[in-house]
């Protein structure tokens, strides 16, 4: 198994006629993932990489009823309308690659999705890959797709760039991945660490999870709360970037839009403290992650 995407994934790409949308389509098809349709208002009737383009999701789904995932690759100002259209169409999984989505728009998207029982990943997600099964987004481009290998480690990362780095280091140590998810580093995102840990918990293919976080926001602390409350059995290893930020004042924005420290939460120290208390193994570098995994999984390998 895997989480979120697999060989049954059937994708609709919103913004397929743009450069990024067309690239995402091409890469998904090359990986063997089914892309059934694309949507760009006013561009209906065209084809991108052989995939038919429609003006609306309703038109696309009348012909391609098997669509179960939408990838949104449109400019930030159009993300809200695109996401709401997909939510109202009851597409179960929506992945938003677009960066710089206004926080108010992201909040509305997440709120509406929860009302309709739709899962959002992103904004600012690099995508999702279940090695050997499916991929969506810009994760695992053709040049580096080989670094993602099937295996028992789930990976959740705020940083798109670190998804590949972690996969490389894990691969060198003999660890493949079940599913790698780039959740994005914005202040408001649809699925955070805790949301995905719930899914990994019930995935028999996933035997351990790696979290890559950063200073700012409280998603790591929320993950720690969930791990403690759920008595999470699978080993979790976390690497938190931004230790240098301990010397900076609160309300400082660092890198991602969500990297804000305030009211005693969101700092490097507070995240490490919460995660350690929950029984999470803390890595001080990427290279240390597989060493910890070997130690905590040794008797099960």
Q: What is the pLDDT of residues 146-166, one digit of tens each?
A: 999 999 999 999 999 999 999
| CA–CA separation, 6 and 8 (whole Å) | 5
3-state SS, residue 277: helix
CB under 8 A, 24+ apart: contacts of 26-31 = 27/135, 27/138, 27/140, 27/141, 27/142, 28/134, 28/135, 28/136, 30/142, 31/134, 31/135, 31/140, 31/145
Residue 228 phi/psi, 5° resolution?
-70, -45
Question: CB within 8 A of 23, min separation 6: which ones?
Answer: 138
pLDDT at 209 over 90: yes
**Furthest CA-CA distance within the chain:** 58
Query: Band of the pLDDT at 245, cuts 50, 70, 90?
Result: very low
Answer whether 1-125 and 149-301 agree in fold: yes
| CA–CA separation, 165 and 39 (whole Å) | 32
Task: Identify the weakest region by mean pLDDT among 64-68, 70-74, 194-198, 242-246.
Answer: 242-246
Domain chopping of the chain, boundaries: 1-125, 149-301
Q: What angle, 0 to 180 degrees and rounded to 10, lies between the N-to-C axes of helices 288-297 and 160-172? A: 60
Q: Class assignment of domain 1-125? A: alpha beta
* Token pair recorded at residue 162: 């670190």
Which option is the CATH number for 149-301: 3.20.20.70, 3.40.50.261, 3.40.50.280, 3.30.70.100?
3.40.50.261
Q: What is the pLDDT of residue 205?
A: 95
3-state SS, residue 213: strand
Q: What is the pTM of this model?
A: 0.93
Q: What is the pLDDT of residue 259?
A: 52
pLDDT digits (tens, 9 = 90+) for 88-125: 999 999 999 999 999 999 999 999 999 999 999 999 99
| CA–CA separation, 65 and 58 (whole Å) | 10
Q: What is the pLDDT of residue 1?
A: 79
| CA–CA separation, 132 and 9 (whole Å) | 13
Place of tokens 């209906």: 44
Write out the catalytic residue numbers.
256
| CA–CA separation, 212 and 166 (whole Å) | 9
């Amino acid at each position: 198994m895997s989480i979120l995407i697999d060989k049954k994934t059937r994708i609709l790409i919103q913004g397929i006629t743009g450069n990024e949308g067309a690239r995402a389509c091409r890469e998904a098809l090359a990986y063997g993932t089914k892309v059934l349709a694309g949507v760009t208002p006013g561009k209906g009737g065209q084809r991108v990489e052989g995939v038919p383009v429609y003006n609306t999701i309703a038109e696309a789904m009348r012909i391609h009823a098997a669509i179960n995932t939408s990838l949104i690759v449109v400019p930030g100002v159009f993300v809200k309308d695109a996401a709401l259209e997909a939510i109202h169409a009851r597409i179960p999984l929506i992945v938003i690659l677009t960066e710089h989505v206004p926080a108010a728009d992201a909040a509305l998207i997440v709120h509406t999705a929860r009302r309709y029982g739709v899962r959002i990943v992103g904004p600012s997600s690099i995508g999702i890959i279940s090695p050997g099964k499916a991929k969506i987004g810009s994760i695992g481009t053709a040049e580096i797709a080989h670094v993602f290998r099937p295996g028992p480690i789930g990976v959740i990362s705020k940083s798109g760039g670190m998804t590949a780095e972690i996969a490389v280091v894990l691969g060198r140590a003999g660890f493949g991945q079940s599913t790698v998810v780039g959740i994005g580093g914005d202040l408001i995102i649809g699925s955070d660490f805790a949301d995905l840990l719930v899914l990994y918990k019930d995935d028999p293919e996933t035997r351990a999870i790696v979290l890559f976080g950063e200073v700012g926001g409280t998603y790591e602390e929320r993950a720690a709360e969930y791990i403690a409350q759920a008595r999470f059995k699978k080993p979790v290893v976390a690497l938190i970037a931004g230790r240098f930020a301990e010397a900076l004042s609160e309300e400082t924005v660092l890198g991602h839009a969500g990297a804000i420290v305030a009211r005693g939460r969101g700092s490097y120290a507070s995240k490490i403290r919460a995660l350690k208390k929950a029984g999470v193994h803390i890595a001080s570098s990427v290279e240390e992650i597989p060493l910890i995994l070997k130690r905590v999984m040794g008797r099960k390998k």
